[in-house]
């Protein structure tokens, strides 16, 4: 049985990926920052699939070498999902940029040294936004300019980490070349497998259905379902056509937060506001609100990604946006 190291297995995407791997006949080794989490993670996974002895855990830190070589030794593939995330802007952007880049480099270096065949890296559509100051059609060759005005630390971290991964692949030496596939999701929705309302998606939906979000940002973008993301990560492990490519895993069309609010409201969530805030007001408010500050470059724009290559390569069709949002809301209500 082939074994896959999943970094960041305790996260929103990581848990779904572990379940999808086990369902598809892979053994899973999940990395966590602290092994004290493993009992609750095992319980969460067992609700979805029986591991049958094919689930184990290891402790890894994105900023330290300890444990990485041992973790890789018996693995055939790696899903590098672990990456720092903060909803609001940190005082020092390197708090998330440094571990994002260094963690990616460690994953690739130790994977190559251990003879791993392929790494599937979780990036983001925010690494494909150009200068992020105007609407843009997104494809495999579009990149975010990390030096553009008002660029958030999170966007920089995802962009620079992915760029560092491709640089590593292009400059690697030796006969046994490590393969790389990159997954670029948009904003991620769908049910969590943990018993906690952690993560930006869960909190946004919670605030919307409770009426605590009076105004919505005017942004349109292809949206993603966490179940689709997990599925494509697993499909990308052994698909020969996928090597060396970036794949947007999201809806075929972009959606706005207003459309999301309308879906929630029309399905019995009466407290949801569908009011879009004026662009100038939201940009002004971003000077004083750290949550809005990260959104500033994107306000008023549409980012429309071409997902046809992903659909064709993996014979895949995205989960409908309505299902993603309603399933998220149902999950949030069950955990409130």
Structure confidence at residue 288 (pLDDT): 46
Structure confidence at residue 273 (pLDDT): 95
DSSP state of 37: G
What are the pLDDT tens digits along the chain (336 aa)? Answer: 999 999 999 999 999 999 999 999 999 999 999 999 899 999 999 999 999 999 999 999 999 999 999 999 999 999 999 988 665 677 888 999 999 999 999 999 999 999 999 999 999 999 999 998 889 999 999 999 999 988 888 899 999 999 999 999 999 988 889 999 999 999 999 999 998 877 788 888 999 999 998 989 888 999 999 999 999 999 999 999 999 999 999 999 999 999 999 999 999 999 999 999 877 665 655 454 444 455 567 888 999 999 999 999 999 999 999 999 999 999 999 988
- The CATH architecture that domain 3-196+223-252+305-319 belongs to is 3-Layer(aba) Sandwich (3.40)
Structure confidence at residue 280 (pLDDT): 63
Q: How far apart are CA 25 and CA 16, in angstroms?
A: 15
Count helices and strands (H / E) in the chain.
Answer: 12, 13
Interhelix angle for 12-23 vs 38-46, to 10°?
50
Structure confidence at residue 292 (pLDDT): 45
Q: How far is CA 329 from the centre of its chain?
A: 19
Structure confidence at residue 90 (pLDDT): 75
DSSP state of 38: H
pTM of the model: 0.94
Could you give the count of Cα atoms lying within 13 Å of 230 in the half-sphere of its Cβ? 25
User: Who contacts 202 (Cβ-Cβ below 8 Å, separation ≥6)?
Assistant: 192, 328, 331, 332, 335
Please report, for the chain, the start and end positions of each structural domain, with discontinuous segments joined by +.
3-196+223-252+305-319
Interhelix angle for 321-335 vs 200-209, to 10°?
80
Tokens of 117: 């065949």
Count of C-beta atoms within a 10 Å radius of residue 208: 25
- Yes or no: say if 166 and 178 are a contact pair by the CB < 8 Å rule: no
Short-list 99, 96, 79, 65, CA closest to 9: 79
Structure confidence at residue 201 (pLDDT): 84
């Amino acid at each position: 049985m082939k074994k896959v190291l999943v970094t960041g297995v305790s996260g929103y995407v990581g848990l779904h990926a572990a379940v999808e791997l086990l369902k598809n006949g892979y053994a899973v080794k999940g990395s966590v920052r602290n092994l004290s989490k493993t009992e609750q993670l095992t319980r969460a996974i067992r609700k979805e699939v029986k591991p049958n002895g094919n689930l184990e855990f290891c402790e890894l830190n994105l900023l330290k070498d300890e444990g990485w070589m041992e973790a890789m030794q018996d693995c055939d593939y790696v899903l590098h999902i672990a990456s720092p995330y903060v909803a609001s802007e940190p005082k020092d952007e390197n708090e998330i940029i440094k571990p994002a880049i260094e963690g990616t480099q460690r994953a690739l270096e130790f994977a190559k040294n251990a003879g791993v065949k392929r790494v599937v890296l979780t990036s983001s559509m925010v690494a494909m936004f150009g200068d992020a100051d105007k609407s843009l059609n997104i494809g495999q060759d579009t990149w975010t300019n990390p030096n553009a005005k008002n660029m958030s630390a999170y966007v920089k971290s995802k962009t620079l980490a992915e760029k560092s991964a491709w640089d590593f692949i292009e400059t690697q030496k030796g006969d046994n070349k490590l393969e790389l596939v990159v997954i670029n999701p948009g904003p991620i929705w769908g049910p969590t497998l943990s018993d906690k309302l952690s993560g930006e998606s869960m909190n946004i939906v919670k605030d919307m259905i409770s009426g605590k979000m009076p105004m919505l940002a005017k942004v349109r973008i292809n949206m993603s379902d966490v179940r689709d993301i997990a599925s494509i990560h697993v499909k990308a492990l052994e698909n020969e056509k996928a090597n060396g490519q970036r794949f947007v895993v999201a809806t075929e069309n972009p959606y706005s937060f207003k459309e999301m609010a309308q879906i929630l409201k029309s399905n019995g969530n009466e407290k949801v506001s569908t009011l879009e805030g004026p662009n100038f007001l939201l940009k002004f408010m971003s000077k004083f609100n750290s949550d809005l500050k990260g959104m500033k470059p994107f306000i008023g724009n549409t980012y429309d990604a071409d997902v046809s290559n992903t659909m064709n390569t993996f014979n895949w069709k995205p989960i409908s946006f309505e299902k993603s949002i309603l399933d998220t809301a149902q999950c949030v209500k069950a955990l409130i």
